[in-house]
A and B are shown apart, each in its own frame.
Chain A
Amino acid sequence: MAEHATHIEGLAHHFVSMEQQKEAGMIGMWLFLVTEVMFFGGLFLAYTIYRTIYPEGFLYGSHLLNVTLGGTNTVVLIVSSLTMAMGVYYSQKGEPKKVMGFLTLTLILGLVFLVIKYFEYASKIHDKLFPAMGWYNPETTGAHGVPLNLQQPVRVFLWIYFLMTGLHAVHMIVGAGILITLILMTRKGKFTKNYNSPVEISGLYWHFVDIVWIFLFPLLYLTGYHLSVGGH
């Protein structure tokens, strides 16, 4: 005869226990992150191949990027990872006010990242350093000190930059959406000591997006940094 378990708050009917549900959720998110690794991995592959073929182009292309802004974004994301981890910790302790505080901080930092990104993109597009539809302007790249024979390789670097950081920014936007959802759910009192796995699972996603940036920053911004010590 089927067991008629007393209804446990937050336990889906096809799971046998909260433990099983939580384990399933965690493994599910980790597997999803594996797909994300392979998804970004395709672009990292393109980066690796083209950097191998066009080492100087990547040098000069990277030199065109703003290390100060990139570095600031890196720090912003590192802090947001800390606040996210704290949010997860307090959700497991069952302290919703602290959870809301830390999740909101994380969200704000994420939005700061996106704003800085917006300014970076705007300046590139203004300088016609956007490699599409014939916008790319060799005269501007020349003005930035890029030799004529490297115009095309620098163009390659630029589309890789836009694709990789663009895809990353899309993931940040999704992450912001997830955080907003979590904040609203915390406000409604959905999370307790016994049921808080959505926060931890979302934390995994947020940390992953941070890790992608940890690799993007040196590969894209710092490659050409030594061409002008001190950045610009």
Chain B
Amino acid sequence: MADHSHDNSHGHPENPIKYYIGVFTLLLVMTGLTVFVAQYDLEKHWGPLNAIVALSIAVIKAMAVIMIFMHVRWSSRLTQLIVVSAAFWLLIMLSFTISDYFTRGGWPIGLGKY
């Protein structure tokens, strides 16, 4: 295979420890944030806001772990494509199935009786 030592796609950065500490701090802060925000019922303001905020924070944390701890930031295009595909396929499964439950009672949003 071609020599890749000149680019950073052989999977790991030269001096990662500062990145690791940074991500570690970010993860702790985000965890604290999500617990803090969860005290408040945001759904009083708008329907799915609780879930949206919680999931957004979780996605940020996950991306930090993926990019830095799992070295995807420095990985080959193929690895990055694999990561994106996994998320994409999960979203396919979730979104199409949710669309079924959300439209059983009508279009565009009708939950039906439960």
Contacts and interface: CB of A to CB of B under 8 A. Distances in A.
Interface stretch (A167-175, A184-192, A216-224): A216-224
A75 interface: yes
B79 A222 contact: no
Nearest to B82: A30
Q: Is the interface of A mostly helix, strand, loop or mixed?
A: helix
Interface in B62-114: 62, 65-66, 68-71, 75, 78-79, 82-83, 85-87, 89-90, 93-94, 97-98, 101-102, 111, 114
Interface in A71-103: 71, 74-75, 78-79, 81-82, 84-86, 88-89, 92
B69 A222 contact: no
B64 to A, nearest CB: 9
A125 B34 CA distance: 28
B94 A218 contact: no
Nearest to B16: A89
A197 B58 CA distance: 29
Interface stretch (A4-12, A45-53, A126-134, A137-145): A45-53
Interface stretch (A107-115, A158-166, A199-207): A199-207
Interface in B19-48: 20-21, 23-24, 27-28, 31, 34-35, 38-41
B27 A215 contact: no
A6 B24 CA distance: 43
Interface string A31-46: 1011001100110110
Interface residues of B, number: 51
B46 to A, nearest CB: 14
Interface residues of A, number: 54
Given A26-B11, A219-B54, A222-B35, A82 B24 contact: yes
Nearest to A204: B70
A79 B23 CA distance: 11
B39 to A, nearest CB: 5
A222 B62 contact: no
A82 B20 contact: yes
Contacts of B40: 226
A45 B101 CA distance: 12
B38 A207 contact: no
Contacts of B58: 214-215, 217-219
A33 B82 CA distance: 9
B65 A214 contact: yes
A203 B40 CA distance: 36
Interface-centre pick from A78, A89, A218 (highest chain B CB count, 10 A): A218
Given A34-B85, A225-B38, A215 B62 contact: yes
Question: Which 3 A-B residue pairings sit nearest by Cβ, starting from the closest?
Answer: A222-B38, A218-B54, A225-B38
5 contacts: A26-B79, A45-B97, A52-B98, A223-B54, A225-B35
Given A41-B90, A48-B98, 5 more contacts: A30-B83, A34-B89, A84-B69, A88-B12, A203-B70
